[in-house]
Amino acid sequence: MDCKLARGVLSVASLLAVLSAAVGAAEPARRPNILYIMSDDHAAHAISCYSGVVNQTPNLDRLARGGMRFDHCFVTNSICAPSRAAILTGKYSHLNGVTVFNRFDGSQPTVAKHLQAAGYHTGIVGKWHLGSDPTGFDEYEIHPGQGRYFDPVYYSATRVRTIKGYATDVTTDLAIEFLKNRPKDKPFFLMCHHKAPHRAWEPDAKHKAVFADRKIAEPPTLRDDYAGRTDAIRENRQRVFDDMTRRDLKLEPPADLKGAKLNEWLGTKPTEVEIEAGGEKKVLKGEELNAWKYQRYMRDYLACVQAIDDNVGRLLDWLDANGLAGNTMVIYTSDQGFFLGDHGMYDKRFMYEESLKMPFIVRWPGVVKPGSVQTAMALNVDFAPTFMEAAGLPVPAEMQGRSLVALLRGEVPADWRTSMYYRYYHDPGHHNTRTHYGVRTATHKLIHFWKKDQWELYDLVKDPEELRNLYQEPGQRETIEKLKAELYRLKKEVRDEDQFADDQPPSGVDGPAPPRPAS
């Protein structure tokens, strides 16, 4: 036995590592491999097994047919870095230290560290976006910052390299390389994180051609006028019609523009656009321009998604061909939801359904019934506890989420949550989105934009598109009182005690650049 243990001074983290390793050593054959695939900003309603309205995703549908689709999986803070930190730690933003774009403290416990201590070979490839270097991973090959779509840069503990190709394909290549070279006597935990379909939605030529002439169905709330809502939604700056730049719309700049003038031109939000149609040039304005902007946005976005779907298929095929599918839990998700013109918006951040809801699909042969659907409420803080239990390990006390293994078996515990707590911190932040927190139940949603002391209340059964704010309407007092009581109960339960915290990130869209090893 470790001499420190004999002296009774072994740290909690070290004790967990010892216990994890002991459990892992006792039952190596029962521990599944875990392949966690996560894209960035992939809305659930851009997956055909969820909706089928705007696109078809045969490989993600294939994963769902072989496993379970979660219909009510939600993010606790709808922005990239905070969601990633919550997934790694199983803790809410105010406790894991990443409320906006803060640098992730890699010394804290994470699911990767626990699995690594238990004998898993751990790795992460693709987008990291947490400011510090990854810890708890035997191997990593990640983008600095947001990364780029074409000829992406990756860095590891020992090198920086540019790899020719399209980021979605290259990240999948690196994932397969990890799988090929892994120690064969250990289970693996691999996080395959894609940059796509993050803004500025840059598809490769193959998939861009597929969507070039396709007309995408407009969402019913694309021209939402925000009547009856708070100031917060009216003040947002993430509107498809008003806030997309020439860069977003892929407009060709004048050839003589360089440097700052070029960036200024690309960053301008155009009120008219000249296009070529039927061999003639045409200037689009007003409603005609608005409709064109939506189509341009969605074609690029969905083409990026299609590359994701193809590469999920590549990974599933590799597992099949190498005899690993039967003992591998495969997860597909996104770091949060995304607006696809819903309420006239792109991006995320707000607590409205399209931003709040995450796709979450799990295939686990022998445990999950193929083709099943789970309607119980899951959160991104639940992912880490789920991986712990799947690996046969105790869930650490500091993790605030709850393992989803029972739900994956088709069982819903009698005490399972029926409400969830959400908090967004960055005000005014990017897109002028106001800080808010709220509660969502199976039937209602209450949101507090506390800096403005304004509230929104929605009946999700009668008004699933969240168009009618009931907060000031007569007859709602009892509902409001119950929801406020539940909101403050959850706030206390997750230990979010500072009602007026307003954490701000360092300057820059992506937060601090991560340290890079010498090339």
Nearby residues of 472 by Cβ (< 8 Å), 6 or more positions away? none
3-202+304-410 CATH choice from 3.40.50.300, 1.10.3720.10, 3.90.550.10, 3.40.720.10: 3.40.720.10
Beta-carbon contacts of residue 219 (< 8 Å; ≥ 6 apart) = 340, 341, 342
Average pLDDT of the segment spanning 378-388: 98
501 versus 493: the higher-pLDDT residue is 493
Please compute the mean of the pLDDT values over residues 391-412 and round it to a whole number.
98
Distance of alpha carbon 217 from alpha carbon 171, whole angstroms: 31
Assess contact for 207 and 303: CB atoms under 8 A. Answer: yes
Per-chain mean pLDDT for the chain: 91
The 10s digit of each residue's pLDDT in 215-246 is 999 999 999 999 999 999 999 999 999 999 99
List C-alpha distances in Å: 471 to 276, 448, 478, 487.
48, 11, 11, 15
By C-alpha distance, which of 412, 461, 471, 468 is closest to 441? 461
Predicted local distance difference test score (pLDDT) of residue 513: 38
Average pLDDT of span 337-359: 98
Task: Calculate the alpha carbon distances from 364 to 34, 235, 433 in Å.
Answer: 9, 44, 38
Confidence bin at 500 (pLDDT 50/70/90): low
How confident is the model over 57-62, as a mean pLDDT? 98
Residues 6+ apart with CB under 8 A from 347: 41, 199, 238, 338, 339, 355, 430, 431
Q: Which three-class secondary structure state does DSSP give residue 505?
A: coil
Q: Taking 60 as the threshold, does the pLDDT of residue 519 lie above it? A: no
Does residue 501 surpass a pLDDT of 70? no
pLDDT at 5 over 90: no
Closest to 36 measured CA to CA, from 309, 304, 362: 362
Please report the pLDDT score of residue 243 as a whole number. Answer: 98
Give the rounded percent of residues in the chain with a pLDDT score beyond 70: 90
Instruction: Say whether pLDDT at 73 is over 80.
Output: yes
Neighbours of 261 (CB within 10 A): 12
Residue 512 pLDDT > 50 = no
pTM given for the model: 0.91
Handedness of CA 408, 412, 416, 417 (dihedral sign): positive
Inter-residue contact 85 to 104 (CB < 8 Å): yes
Q: What is the pLDDT of residue 21?
A: 41
- Rounded average pLDDT over 67-90: 98
Question: In sequence order, which residues have a C-beta less than 8 Å from that of residue 182 and are 6 or more positions away?
Answer: 121, 123, 188
> Running DSSP on this structure, what letter comes out for residue 343?
G
According to the per-residue pLDDT averaged within each range, which of 28-32, 418-422, 513-517 is highest? Answer: 418-422
Taking the CA atoms of 48, 336, 200 and 129 in sequence, report the sign of the dihedral they define: negative
| Whole-number Å distance between alpha carbons of 13 and 241 | 51
User: How far apart, in whole angstroms, are the C-alpha atoms of residue 147 and residue 423?
Assistant: 27
67-81, 200-214, 502-516: segment of lowest average pLDDT: 502-516
Q: Which amino acid is at 220?
A: P
Residue for token digits 């089928």? 52
pLDDT tens-digit readout, 421-467? 999 999 988 899 999 999 999 999 999 999 999 999 999 999 999 99
Q: What is the DSSP string of 61-100?
A: HHHHHTSEEESSEE-SS-SHHHHHHHHHHSS-HHHHT-SS
The predicted-structure confidence for 86-131, as pLDDT tens digits, reads as follows 999 999 999 999 999 899 999 999 999 999 999 999 999 999 999 9
User: Mean per-residue pLDDT for 257-272?
Assistant: 96
The CA distance from 271 to 284, in Å, is 9
- Strand 378-379 versus strand 73-74 pairing type: parallel
For residue 27, pLDDT beyond 60: no
The percent of residues in the chain predicted with pLDDT above 90, rounded, is 88
DSSP state of 355: H
Interatomic CA distance for residues 127 and 150, integer angstroms: 14
Tokens of 116: 């690594």
Report angle CA 453, 454, 457 to the nearest 5 degrees: 140
**Using 50, 70 and 90 to split pLDDT, how confident is the model at 494?**
very high
Q: Is there a contact between 231 and 452 (Cβ–Cβ < 8 Å)?
A: yes
Residue 79 has pLDDT above 60, yes or no: yes
Q: Is the pLDDT of residue 517 over 50?
A: no
Write out the two tokens for 291: 């409709």
Mean pLDDT of 253-267: 96
* Domain map (residue ranges) of the chain: 3-202+304-410, 213-292
